[in-house]
Chains A and B, each alone.
Chain A
Amino acid sequence: MTRRVVITGVGAVTPLGIGAATLIERWAAGECGIEDGLGLCRDFDPLEFLSKKEARRADRFAQMAIAAAAEAVGQAGGEDGLPYEPHRVGCVIGTGIGGLPSLEENQRKLIERGEKAVSPLAVPLMMGNAAAAAVAMRHELHGHCYGVVSACAAGAHALGDASRIIRAGDADAVVAGGAEAAITGVATAAFGAMEATSPTGISRPFDARRDGFVIGEGAGVLILEEKQAAEARGAEILGELLGYGATCDAFHLTAPQPEGTEAARAIGLALADAGLSAVDVDYVNAHGTSTPLNDRAETMALKAALGERAADVPVSSTKSAIGHLLGAAGAVEAIATVEALRRRIAPPTLGWEEAEEGLDLDYVPGAAKPIENGDGPLVAISDSFGFGGHNAVLCLSA
């Protein structure tokens, strides 16, 4: 019998504030969390979620993952946590970069004061699997546990992998998501050097004036459960992860394949995995980075994958409100997608005003618009693409 995967908890730390509800409510209201060209989580105080010792032993991306996971586990399981045998619960948390602040700080100590000044915590703080390890330790999860590293597709890959673990029967629940906090000197300089980030500091995906992404930070964590088990325990089901598709451009280290051929294939695979077709899609949560290359290639990919449906379906980018959360983006955007479907709205692509030739989809300018398609569950595609040509696409419903 086919095992299906439902979502029973969500948690987020984003530039719009703490909590998944804050994220969707503020984005849907047209509010933007970007200030001075950065998507910083200014409201995040780690000591509200961690002891002083826990906070010292987690880099910022892992701290945010712990906070987001606590919210998600609390929603799914209440104070007692997830009601499964701990070996049947996994934890998969993606990140693009890991604990870059710790790496930079210890590199500085090494240069200035020598080997003996380097912290014994440097490796466990910087390692890309640190968030997964910390969340598993906090909630005593003993199943599959690892980090996923695929640049800006990591959050979506983590959710896709987690759903596969459940469908394969290796777990009944997985705490899954993505986390990133890499707004450091090296990262901002490096993204600037490759002209990936916006020199004007404005995130306006799909607009003719777009000039790069705005770097953001944050975390998103979802509780995925096997559907029958979740129903049997009476859990509130927020949505379903219906399908997952992943491909690689194998084209260029950073640039997307210009026609979005492999991205389109990943969208098609996600729909096929869900047993659906293009006409079933009610909303697309785009990768929509605000870079000239991505937004054009993604528009072409959507047209190729969805055919005539592409002209009618609303397509919007969460990055217009929070910037690009890199390895956290796919998870945070999956949460935004499910919460948008639950409210039966397509939130807006903030700042979109000027069309560009060929970029002619409904990017939901101005304000959120209702999705009208009866009373049943709505279906959405959430795209995530990463440097390296990684394409990970989720098909979600709520």
Chain B
Amino acid sequence: MATAVTAENVEKVIFDGLVELGTERDQLAREATLEDLDVDSLDLVELAQIVEDEFGVELRGDDVKDVKTVGQVIDLVVSKAG
């Protein structure tokens, strides 16, 4: 059973996922840019797997190619679920 797609749940899963991928937790914020966090295309594919496992929401390369901040990733997941 997939977790309910609320902004709060998605933020927690994405924050935890980024820490798992090697980002320092104290650097995480909705406003943080992926570039500043050194999150690259491979990280985004791994993050998409985590999101799909958790929420059943599928993110593809085209979906995230213009995303700049962590907050935008969270909003994208929430909007795709809706």
**Measuring CB to CB, which residues of chain A are less than 8 angstroms from any residue of chain B?**
51-54, 56-57, 116-117, 119-121, 124
- What are 21 of the A-B contact pairs (CB < 8 Å)? A51-B22, A52-B22, A53-B21, A53-B22, A53-B23, A53-B38, A54-B22, A56-B21, A56-B22, A57-B42, A116-B49, A116-B52, A117-B49, A119-B46, A120-B42, A120-B45, A120-B46, A120-B49, A121-B42, A121-B46, A124-B42
- Please give the distance in Å from A260's CB to the nearest CB on chain B: 46
| A52: B residues at CB distance < 8 A | 22
Q: For residue A120, which residues in chain B have a CB less than 8 angstroms away from its CB?
A: 42, 45-46, 49
Interchain pairs with CB closer than 8 A, number: 22
By beta carbon, the residue of chain A nearest B58 is: A116
Query: Mostly helix, strand, loop or mixed at chain A's interface?
Result: helix
Q: Interface residues of B, CB < 8 Å — how many?
A: 9
Interface residues of B (CB under 8 A from A): 21-23, 38, 42, 45-46, 49, 52
**Assembly CA distance A119 to B20 (angstroms):** 14
Nearest B residue (CB) for A51: B22
A116 to B52, CA, bound (A): 9
> Please, which residues of chain A bring their CB within 8 A of the CB of B22?
51-54, 56
* B46 proximity list for chain A (CB < 8 A): 119-121
Q: Could you tell me the distance between the alpha carbons of A52 and B25 in the complex, rounded to whole angstroms?
A: 12
Measured between beta carbons, the chain B residues less than 8 angstroms from A57 are: 42
Q: For the complex, give the distance between the alpha carbons of A120 and B60 in Å.
A: 13
Which residues of A have CB within 8 Å of B52? 116
On chain A, the residues within 8 Å of B42 by CB distance are: 57, 120-121, 124
Q: Give the chain B neighbours of A119 by CB distance below 8 A.
A: 46, 49
A218 to B73, CA, bound (A): 40
In the assembled complex, the Cα of A57 lies from the Cα of B43 at a distance in Å of 10
**How far is it, in angstroms, between the C-alpha of A124 and the C-alpha of B38 when the chains are bound?**
18
Alpha-carbon distance between A120 and B45 when the two chains are bound, in angstroms: 7
Given the complex of chains A and B, what is the CA–CA distance between A88 and B45 in angstroms?
A: 35
